[in-house]
Amino acid sequence: MSAGGVMPSGSSRLPRLDPFTLPVQFHARDVAADEQVRIVELHRKRVVMRRSIAGMRMAMSLPVSNYLGVALQIVAPDDTSDGAVAVVLAHADAALAVPLFTAATGVDALTQWRAWGHVLGLPLLVADADGSLREPMRSPDAVRIARPQARRRRGSPLKRRRPRILARRRASRLPKAPRIHREEREIIARS
């Protein structure tokens, strides 16, 4: 299977990870590693990859924020397998990409693609035939929400509107000689 996952021995099922049961540890295919296998630990905030190259063991820990997004790829059919649809945690360096899900049809892959993007907080991407990644098409009436930016006082248009000191609340003060009313009749409204 060229989607990156390693087939479990004695099983004909494609690898499947559940995005809602993180952290998870699994084996993935790595062409450069000894035995062509690497161990991947996936957490909500980081990815740890362990592999051995020429007998030297190594571990790489990367924050999930370093990844470009969750990509949907089409795996072309070859002599050993039929075509498939793969959900991959995409990185700028293709060697650091992590396969998350592989399916024979696109219906299951779309559901997993959205779930992984939501759980990891990464954008959803689509891989083109040449391997480049892009955001999926959006409808013209869709509203795009960006992350809120920190408020800047110096370059803000509100700076020239009013002095900053007037934006504060003024503390109330009691008079130096408070009025004391004695021997007065209290007026009470009764119905």
Is the pTM higher than 0.95? no
Q: What is the pLDDT of residue 146?
A: 75
Residue 25 belongs to domain spanning: 19-129
Q: For residue 40, is it within any domain?
A: yes
Q: For residue 66, is it within any domain?
A: yes
Q: How many CA atoms lie within 13 A of 2 on its CB side?
A: 12
3-state secondary structure labels for all residues of the chain = CCCCECCCCCCCCCCECCHHHCCEEEEEECCCCHHHEEEEEECCCEEEEEEEECCEEEEEEEEHHHCCEEEEEEECCCCCCCCEEEEEEECCCHHHCEEEEEECCHHHHHHHHHHHHHHHCCCEEEECCCCCEECCCCCCCCCCCCCCCCCCCCCCHHHHCCCHHHHCCCCCCCCCCCCCCCCCCCCCCCC
Q: How confident is the model at residue 3 (pLDDT cuts 50, 70, 90)?
A: very low
Q: How confident is the model at residue 48 (pLDDT cuts 50, 70, 90)?
A: very high
CATH of the domain at 79: 2.30.29
34: nearest Cα among 59, 49, 57, 53: 53
Total number of domains in the chain: 1
* Digit-coded pLDDT (tens) for 146-186: 777 776 666 666 666 666 666 666 777 778 887 777 887 77
Q: For residue 74, is it within any domain?
A: yes
Q: For residue 140, is it within any domain?
A: no
Q: How confident is the model at residue 63 (pLDDT cuts 50, 70, 90)?
A: very high
Q: What is the pLDDT of residue 12?
A: 44
| Amino acid occupying residue 184 | E
Q: For residue 94, is it within any domain?
A: yes
8 pLDDT higher than 70: no
- Distance from C-alpha of 73 to C-alpha of 29, rounded to nearest angstrom: 16
* Digit-coded pLDDT (tens) for 91-111: 988 888 888 888 877 778 888
* Digit-coded pLDDT (tens) for 106-125: 778 888 888 888 888 888 88
Q: For residue 153, is it within any domain?
A: no
- Distance from C-alpha of 98 to C-alpha of 51, rounded to nearest angstrom: 13
